Structure formats: C-alpha cells, structure tokens
Amino acid sequence: MEQDKDLMEKIVSLCKRRGFIFQGSEIYGGLAGTFDFGHFGVALKNNIKNAWWKKFVDGRTDMYGVDAAILMRQEVWQATGHVANFADPMVECQKCKKQFRMDHLLEQSGKTGVVGLTIQQMSDKIKSGSDVVCLECGARNWGEAKQFNMMFQTKVGASEDSSAVSYLRPETAQGMFVNFKNTVDAFHPKLPFGMAQIGKAFRNEITPRDFIFRQREFEQMEIEYFVRPDAWEESFDMWLAQMHEWIEEVGIDVNKTTDLPVSDEDRAFYSQKTIDIEFEYPFGKKELFGLAYRTDYDLNTHKLEYVDEENATKMVPHVIEPSFGLDRAFLAILISTYDESDPERPFLKFKPNIAPVICAVSPLLKNKPELVNYAKDNVYAMLKSEFGRVMWDDNGNIGKRYRRQDEIGTPYCIVVDFDTLGEEKPELKDTVTVRDRDTGTQERVKVSELVSFLKSKL
C-alpha cells in the first residue's frame, strides 16, 4: 500500500510538472475538489472525448448528440427526485467542525461491511465505536447525522424569489431526457435509439479526494439508450460489452477492471439494475464507470412518451444508461500507462490514438541553422498541419528531450541530423531518425513517408 501511495504521488507530481493537471485556484491556496487542466491535460481529455464520440455516436447509426444547458429550471430536479434524494449521509466533528461523509469516515477508520448500511446504522457505528475519531483533530465528539444534498444551488436573474432557484446539474443525463421530445420530433428515430452528451457535472461532495477521482466539478460522457420494455436485458448486456471494448481501446488496463453488480440498498434511487465497472486505483478498488437500467423512471417523471409507429400506440420506452466519468477515465489511463520498469526513465505508455502529442520534432543541435531550418520547414510544418498534436522540442540535449517526451507520453521522437542533409552518406539524404518511446529503438524513415508511417500507428 505504501508503494501504491508512492505511485499516486509520482503521478500527481508528473501531472503538475509536465502541465497536465494543476490544483484549482492554486495561487489562492487551492479550492478542494477542483482541478485545472493544462495544455497536455486538455489534449488528453479531448482525445478521450473524441475516442468516445467516435465509437458511440459517429460509429453508430442509432445515436443523437445533445449539448444541453447546464442551468435548468428547478422543476427538472424536483421531478427527478434529485431535490429530495440526491444526498449523502454527513456527520460533523463538534470540536473542529470538519464534516465527513459517513461511509467514507467508517471506511477510513478501518470498518468493513459499510456498504448498504442506513444512515441510522452508520450513525450508531460511528458513535458506539470508540475508535472512530475525527480524522482532522482526533476528537470523538460527533454531531447529529444528516442527509446533505449534493446539488450546488444558484439563482437565475436578479430576483431574490424562490422561483429564481436553480441548480448546477449533478449529472448530464437530465439534459438528454428533457430533450427527448425535441429529438424524437426532429429526427423521428425508431426504437431502439440513444442520445449522447459530454459535459460538466457538479456535486458538492462532502469529502472530495484522491486527486481527480472525486471532484466537485467534473465531466461526464453519458448515453441514454431507449428500448422497448421487454428488450432491456439484451440492451444492457450489449452496452456492458461495448463499455469494456472502449476501455481497452483507450488503453485502460482491463486486468485492473471488474464488474460489480450493485446491491439493492446501494443502487441510485432511479435504477433497477446497476453494474459498476470498478478499477484498481492505487488507493483501492473503486468505481470507474456505471451501467444502469433506469426503467421508464425519467421519461415518466417528465411526463414524456413515444408514439410507436409500428402499431400507432403511445408508450414509454425504458432506458439503459452507460455513464462514463471523463476524469476517472483520465486517471485510469494515467495509472494503466505509467511505466517505471526503468527507474531512470519513467514514462507514460499512452496509445497513439489518445497521446496528447503524437510526435516531437527536433534538430540534433539547435545552434546549427541548416538542421533547424530543415526540421522546421520540411518536417515540423508538414506533420503539424497533418496531425496538429505535434510538438517542436529543441530544449536541452537529445537525451533530455527524450526524457521529457517520455514523461509526456509521446510515442515518437523525430530527429533531423547531419545524415538528413546527406552530407556524408547521400543514401540517407532526406531521412530522419524515429525513436520509439516504448523500446527506445530508432529507425530511419524517409521524410516523404513520415505521414503514412505515423498514420499506420493511429
């Protein structure tokens, strides 16, 4: 476990050092549960989102995209039950006033069998066990247990009236349900069909923790797939298989994932069957993504229906919901790809399709204009316009550049050297060295073949 903590620290430190992820509001002391993504972090996120959209929307014929407003009328969240039920059990230390999510407090105090306990049972366990002390100040002086609603409340417009109350959405899902009718009216899809959305979600987590695993502001990639009621099981199995395929495609270590059927007591209030796909993070096995059978709960709560053209009757489709946390995908990819088998050369073994930088271009020496000009004009410009995610790197010696690119997870480093100019060996003119990140081996490739060489790796 010490070793695992060490791994998490190394990943967090790499993310900051190399410009992937920074603490939110860092220069003012940080805001817990928020993170800012730097250049390579944004690039990795975009590549993950693109891989998701490509497979689940563009790669299918039955999906419709949505980008709904984050702010919605309060009635949406009243209808869904989020105002009444979207809460976590909380207890406060009366001495230092630190608040804890009760199940997390029990788990961190080494208690087992926490899953499925009611708020009263958790409260009894906390108050009766002399070893459950405040993790902040060590006191054993607990207040009353309460349900804490996790939605961030805000007001829309200048009115102080309660009708102005709105919430930052805690899931992207509802943005799709409230656009169900619009989508059906605009596209006339036949069942089964799905809606997909990628966007921010907000939860006022009592104890945000474990880097980007549990944040207060994060991104989701969700699908609501509408089926005939008797077809839900078949669709559920299909989506579980699809989710596993995608996990492999983006380079998450499949051997670290397990499917956990979620017990009746632990399922979200809207779900009749849920499977959590769990991942072995260095801080324990926890949820990566979820797959839920939401029945007709949401369409019913919004009073929505579908006219079945097959028999001209009205019906309410049932919903299968594959839900992916973008930040958890990001973290699982980092953990799966961090390779320190050579401690001198730790690197991120990103798959080329999601690597923030597909290749870096360097002149062997930065003080030789003939090398610099060739590298810039004939190689960098061409690859940059073809792939976009190409980096110019002439900082430090070649060894240092390789180390830097290894940490960024760049699969290929391309170097323009004197042989490229063909001064001594004319047969090597207009060729460059391409170094492979994973093996460290180099090969010479013709400049004219670089684009097809890289394309073959994507």
The residue nearest ligand GAP at its CB is 325
Question: How far, in Å, CA of 146 to CA of 151, rounded?
Answer: 15
Contact predicate 359/390, CB 8 Å: yes
Q: Give the nearer residue to ligand GAP in terms of CB position, either 304 or 381.
A: 304
Which helix (H) or strand (E) element contains residue 295?
Answer: strand 284-295
State the minimum distance, in angstroms, from the CB of residue 85 to ligand GAP: 12
Q: Are strands 318-325 and 21-23 parallel, antiparallel or unpaired?
A: unpaired
With tokens 């070893």, the residue in question is 131
Q: Give the nearer residue to ligand GAP in terms of CB position, either 296 or 339.
A: 296
Contact predicate 122/102, CB 8 Å: yes
Contacts of 186 by beta carbon, 8 Å cutoff, 6+ apart: none
Contact predicate 195/180, CB 8 Å: yes
Is the torsion defined by CA of 280, 286, 288, 293 positive or negative?
positive
Binding site for ligand GAP (CB under 6 A): 171, 173, 203, 205, 214-215, 218, 220, 222, 287, 289-290, 321, 323, 325, 327-328
Cis peptide before 426 (omega within 30 of 0): no
Q: Give the nearer residue to ligand GAP in terms of CB position, either 150 or 361.
A: 150
Degrees to nearest 5, angle at CA 286 with 56 and 267: 75
State the minimum distance, in angstroms, from the CB of residue 291 to ligand GAP: 9
Q: Give the nearer residue to ligand GAP in terms of CB position, either 89 or 290.
A: 290
State the minimum distance, in angstroms, from the CB of residue 385 to ligand GAP: 36
State the minimum distance, in angstroms, from the CB of residue 215 to ligand GAP: 4
CA separation (Å) from 393 to 134, 404, 453? 49, 9, 20
Question: How far, in Å, CA of 340 to CA of 347, rounded?
Answer: 7
